[in-house]
Amino acid sequence: MLITKARMMTALAAILTLGSAQAAETADQTAEDTIVVTGRFLSIDRLNAVKTPTPVLNVPQSLSIVPRAQIEDQGFTSIADILRYMPGLAVSQGEGHRDAIIIRGNQSTADFFLDGLRDDVQYYRPLYNLEQVEVLRGANALLFGRGGGGGVVNRVTKTGQLDEDFASLNASVDTFGAHQVAGDVNSVLSDTVAFRVNAFAEHMDNHRDVFEGDRFAINPTFTVELAPQTQLFLSYEYVNDDRVVDRGVPSVSVANGPDVPLEGFRDTFFGVADGNYTTLEASIFRSRLEHTFSENLRGNVTVQYADYDKYYQNIYPAGLDTSVSPQQLTLDGYADETGRENFIAQGNLVGEFDMGPFRHTVLLGVEYGDQSTSNARIDNTFAASNDDQITIDFTTPISVPDYAFVDTLRDRDSDVQFTSLYLQDQIDLTEQLKLVLGLRFDRFDVSVLDREAVSPTDDGRRARVDEEVSPRLGLIYKPAENVSVYASYAESFLPSAGDQFLTLTRTTEDVQPQRFENTEVGLKWDFSRNLSLTTALFRVERGLFTSVDPNNVSQVITIPGSVTDGFEAQLTGQLADAWTVTAGYSYLDSTVDGGSFDGNRTLQTPEHMLSIWNEYQATDQLALALGVTYQDSYFVREDNAVEVPDFTRVDAAVFYDLSDQTRLQLNVENLLDEDYFPDAHSNDNISTGKPLNARLTIRHRF
């Protein structure tokens, strides 16, 4: 049943009223009964997303934090795994070679950050070296700059610890033969120097007929205490990833409704075993200097250089006609290579001081980036059709005719330089009322050399400069120490070159940036030190944007805009001494605003999503866990021609401590062996979910 805006407003009002009632009750309690909540801090010392030492309770924005312990307990191995247990977020297929997300109805392959710095190349990000993952929802250019129309994902990496030596080793294997080993070693070299290294190696396999892959990574880091108030962090990460590119199954027509994914072929691979693959090599160097000038003033400077080399090629389904005999399958394909170098420098200064009757927490920041990208796309030609597409009889396994990648569709070099200056002030008007005001100025300068456009009358060079001012406004009211009610407004933008700088043409270089506005009200309530509820009611308005043409996936189309109205709620913490829970729910009413698709649902945005993960400590040694995720049906593209059905997936886990240092862990995914389709890319590229799968892990700390 649909939830109307009026009902959502009523529900939120009831929650807010309850919060106020609780606050009044708390105020009347005696001193020994008063709940004192210090709050969970996203401190500047944690290299986090919000950049100021602000408790989660006082951040006027919906956010989620997934700590390392939760990543390990739930057996997460990818960003997608994490986001499936988070309200307001859906996972896109990413064509089988990259992370892709939909936050509040807005799709992105670039709104990823690493320790607060942009990490926007298209690849699968590993989790082996993370302390936590932070997801901030809603447009907010002040903190992150361009993009982030629906929100951003920030990974926080581990750093060397000066207080103790330790080491850990984890190894796992699952039902399909996929296996992984990971290690974490911290060594205190002196009173002021610590060295830490994280590494992992993984062999990938699953239910698909020919899918497999191998990846490994290593991340050595140094922590150096240059002085009692000054620390230097040095880090290098190398990632190597080689895997099969799998774009799922096509859709089929049904009577009296939109097309649906092809059922009954969960394991069938619609590609070429040795022709669908991707390779990635990434090297990321980062240094960060932190200094505390005084008790109320501190700052940091971070410099990052990253080099990425990425290649993928694939043959994929482009249509299936089941109305004829034999059934006819259409195939398409292309190859793509990208090289990117990112240089980013960012400095932040945070001061806390009194001015008159008000307390101020001021953030002053500057950021500079230079990103150089080379990208080429090569179309395939099937020998039998002398075309990039071919229609063949549908058989299993798929018999793909001879082909070759010969026709260059795109050959571009782009250079992006951006400079940003941002200022934010959190003003404590009273003990209960806080005001957040901020502005960010961005200059975004992109130049492109399009070699395929070069002609006697065209030098192939495109350029555009955008200068944008993005505001942020937040109001926080705390009726009690452990309750906050907030309202916020923030904006962001995305230049016409797109999130990968590949769409700048003679037409788009004259197009204004895509704009996002996020209006939000919410409640955060710490019931106790270990149990928190957050809720948010919001609207995200997106201006003119581009999307893949449903009738030709190699082309883009322009859409006037979209609007997402929604509600989110998340409960995290301990319901009892032995029972912990993480639960989330989101409602998203996201529609296209204008154009030929006016009123249609935006792509891959389920209306309802629900997740819950329970852990119960049965004995000192034994713990049990049960999780459920529900995802509503959604349309793959804005044409709403293909609808992916809803599903409910049940997961479980058993933990047994063999000793204080050793834990044995069994995670079971899709316990009830549900047939489902978790994500998609285009109307004929829809992923099939894994059947029942068990993963056995042993963890040992030395």
Close Cβ partners of 481 (under 8 Å, ≥ 6 residues apart):
26, 35, 36, 37
Could you report the per-residue pLDDT of 651-670, keeping only the tens digit for each? 999 999 999 999 999 999 99
**486 residue type, one letter:** Y
Per-residue pLDDT, 12? 36
DSSP 204-245: EE-SSSS-EEEEEEEEEEEEEEEETTEEEEEEEEEEEEEEE-
What is the Cα gyration radius of the chain? 25
Could you report the per-residue pLDDT of 196-220, keeping only the tens digit for each? 999 999 999 999 999 999 999 999 9
Per-residue pLDDT, 545? 83
Run of H or E including 13 = helix 5-28
| 642, 635 contact by CB (below 8 A) | yes
CA diameter of the chain: 84
Close Cβ partners of 33 (under 8 Å, ≥ 6 residues apart):
none
Nearest to 349 by CA among 363, 368, 367: 363
16 pLDDT higher than 60: no
Per-residue pLDDT, 553? 65
List the CATH code of the domain at 5-701.
2.40.170.20
Per-residue pLDDT, 13? 39
Per domain, the residue ranges of the chain are 5-701
Close Cβ partners of 11 (under 8 Å, ≥ 6 residues apart):
567
Nearest to 333 by CA among 266, 406, 241, 393: 406
Could you report the per-residue pLDDT of 451-486, keeping only the tens digit for each? 999 999 999 999 999 999 999 999 999 999 999 999
CA distance 36 to 671: 41
CA distance 609 to 585: 6
Provide mean pLDDT across the span 118-126: 94
Determine phi and psi for 92, rounding to 5 degrees: -100, 155
Could you report the per-residue pLDDT of 541-555, keeping only the tens digit for each? 999 887 877 777 667
Nearest to 621 by CA among 572, 578, 573: 578
- How many beta carbons lie within 10 A of that of residue 322, not counting itself? 15
In terms of Cβ atoms closer than 10 Å to its own Cβ (0-12, 13-18, 19+), residue 256 is: exposed
Tokens 């920030």 correspond to what residue? 154
CA distance 498 to 681: 18
Nearest to 699 by CA among 129, 114, 128, 183: 183
Per-residue pLDDT, 6? 42
Q: Kindly indicate the confidence band of residue 279, based on its pLDDT and cuts at 50, 70 and 90.
A: very high
| 254, 266 contact by CB (below 8 A) | no
Per-residue pLDDT, 554? 65
Name the percent of the chain lying above pLDDT 90. Answer: 82
Q: What is the pTM of this model?
A: 0.91
Per-residue pLDDT, 8? 38
CA distance 372 to 118: 14
Nearest to 176 by CA among 199, 210, 152: 210
Per-residue pLDDT, 77? 95
Nearest to 309 by CA among 238, 249, 365: 238
| 180, 72 contact by CB (below 8 A) | no
DSSP 308-364: EEEEEEEEEEEEEE-SSSS-EEEEEEEEEEEEEEEEEEEEEEEEEEEETTEEEEEEE
- How many beta carbons lie within 10 A of that of residue 375, not counting itself? 19
Could you report the per-residue pLDDT of 283-334, keeping only the tens digit for each? 999 999 999 999 999 999 999 999 999 999 999 999 999 999 999 999 999 9
Could you report the per-residue pLDDT of 32-57, keeping only the tens digit for each? 332 222 334 443 333 356 777 788 88
Run of H or E including 537 = strand 531-542
Looking at residue 266, what DSSP letter applies?
T
Please calculate the CA angle 242-93-548 and round it to the nearest 5 degrees.
115
429 pLDDT higher than 60: yes
CA distance 409 to 405: 11
Tokens 């205490």 correspond to what residue? 225
CA distance 211 to 568: 36
Determine phi and psi for 599, rounding to 5 degrees: 90, -15
CA distance 360 to 561: 38
490 pLDDT higher than 90: yes
Both tokens assigned to 93? 């297929």
Per-residue pLDDT, 302? 96
Per-residue pLDDT, 194? 98
Average confidence score pLDDT of the chain: 90
